[in-house]
Amino acid sequence: MATSKHLKNKLNTLKKEFDSLRLGKESLLTLIDEAEAPESVYNSNAIENSTLTLGETEKILLDMEVSRDVSLREVYEAKNLSRVFDYIKSKSQETDISKEIILFLHKMLIDNIDEKIAGRFRRAGEYVRVGNYIAPAPEKVENMIDELIFAYKNNLDGYFLDKVAKFHIDFENIHPFNDGNGRIGRALICFQLQRLGFPLIIIRNREKKIYYQAFGNYRDQGNTKIMEKVILLALVESLHKRITYLQGSRIIKLSEFIKKKSYSASALTNAARRQNIPAFREKGIWKISEDFKYEVLKK
């Protein structure tokens, strides 16, 4: 399933605006990334059923004491995933995606959690399943990863979003590791987007249902339409957020914007979810530039 021309034009326009505004403001983008780090870590871990809250994740990353007893594993899962994202932000421009990079990121993710499986693919006898889906035999994993990377790098005509969506689904279907497949797979999306000059994205736990639906849709119907939509919405939201900050706008809660302007709450909230307006979330709260002119979109 290919991304429509309309959506390609929308992304192209946002990317050009982002590239123009970011000149000389890299320090601001670094601050945004740093502030967003707990959300990135929390959401990816929450999709894998971590019990940590966003607030607890934030405290752990700041080496602050958490009010309740949490498992050492979950502490390392948070800190290690944060290190993975930091590495991606600092090193993604230096090297293309490779088997070695994937293994290195996995070693970083599973460090101090399970050293026996960290930084290596599944071996003979190590089978895994996700729900009713049983991943390929471990003996096939390394060749399948080689083929996946080769296909991604040599698809010179495919649109980047379609390629990233298919890579992610195929990677998760291979499920090359005993643990950490989902978190590494979502980190690789960020790695691929960063190499193309885009910001990091967050696939949120609140959207877990449609995210998982994308895998079933691919297995049943052979298309990547739903995953493309998931990544597209996350990318547009990430661009909207950074563009708004780079413009120097005063940022307010969407609920405050609605109240001040007397707009329909349901219409604006739905427009935000669909990314038809430049709204974005911070700690789960929708925000927008106070200067945004919604009149042009009103019917």
- CB distance 114 to 125 below 8 Å: no
- Please report, as a single letter, which amino acid is at residue 273: R
For 126-151, the pLDDT digits (tens) are 999 998 999 999 999 999 999 999 99
Q: What does the pLDDT read at residue 117?
A: 98
What pTM value is reported for the model? 0.95
The token pair that represents 127 in the structure block: 């089978």
208-221 helix and 225-246 helix, angle to the nearest 10 degrees: 140
What pLDDT was estimated at residue 1? 56
**What are the Cα distances from residue 14, in Å, to 198, 202, 247, 279, 289?**
10, 17, 13, 13, 16
Residue 298: the pLDDT is 45
Q: Write down the pLDDT at residue 295.
A: 65
Give the pLDDT score at 261.
86
Mean pLDDT of successive 10-residue stretches along the chain, which has 299 residues: 84 98 97 97 97 97 91 97 96 93 98 97 96 95 98 95 98 98 98 97 96 94 94 98 97 95 92 97 97 66
